[in-house]
Chain A
């Protein structure tokens, strides 16, 4: 049962444009949603998170939007830079489970010149 889904395995965006990565979830008990970035042969690094009581969180070029009614969140990167090329994982946590995260399968972002 895939509780966190990233339906786009890959995305290609031109440098300077906006990248939008999407994530859908099924478990209503998730209280925190996180985005991680992963380069090949490295561990995931935390990017940005959002509490389920909010609908938007912004940090520099990165903004996460949460639509609870649709059980959907998205990560916006603007402007996109070549160094943003990586795999992006959406993750979610159930209330009261410390940091036991459920991950999506990832979206590979390629930012082209």
Chain B
């Protein structure tokens, strides 16, 4: 499967626990984006990363949330001390390197659904 891969698809955590969501971009893509969709809302941008660099984290909550995209391995969105309001679908998307693509199109994974009890 050459698409964007996210895991886990479903994650249940109790309040105060940590959640880690993983994303492997499409083959050949070097840009990763994380979006969050709260119930009955649209997708909200969280963070944009390239390998080993956070390019834009303007949509990330200031506390408890962090993201990385290491040189090797998937991108990880980490939520510490989860609260009920973190329950949402978290979507990862990828795009080709700069210069290869200029339409803004993103390729999305199937999402990770986080439920906080």
Contacts and interface: CB of A to CB of B under 8 A. Distances in A.
A94 to B, nearest CB: 9
Given A43-B111, A99-B31, A105-B42, A34 B56 contact: no
A66 B110 CA distance: 29
B33 A100 contact: yes
Size category of the B interface is 20 to 34
A51 B102 CA distance: 10
Contacts of B98: 98
Nearest to B105: A46
A102 B101 CA distance: 18
Interface string B57-80: 000000000000000000000000
A86 interface: no
A49 B104 contact: yes
Contacts of B101: 99
A43 B42 contact: no
Size category of the A interface is 20 to 34
Contacts of A42: 110-111
A45 interface: yes
A43 B108 contact: yes
Nearest to A50: B103
28 contacts: A4-B42, A6-B42, A31-B104, A32-B103, A32-B104, A34-B104, A42-B110, A43-B4, A43-B93, A43-B108, A46-B105, A49-B103, A89-B43, A91-B43, A98-B55, A99-B93, A99-B95, A99-B101, A99-B104, A99-B105, A99-B106, A100-B33, A100-B45, A100-B48, A101-B43, A101-B106, A103-B42, A105-B40
Given A31-B104, A49-B104, A99-B48, 12 more contacts: A4-B42, A34-B103, A43-B93, A43-B108, A43-B110, A44-B43, A44-B108, A45-B108, A93-B104, A98-B104, A105-B40, A105-B42
Interface of A: 4, 6, 31-32, 34, 36, 41-46, 49, 51, 89, 91, 93, 97-106
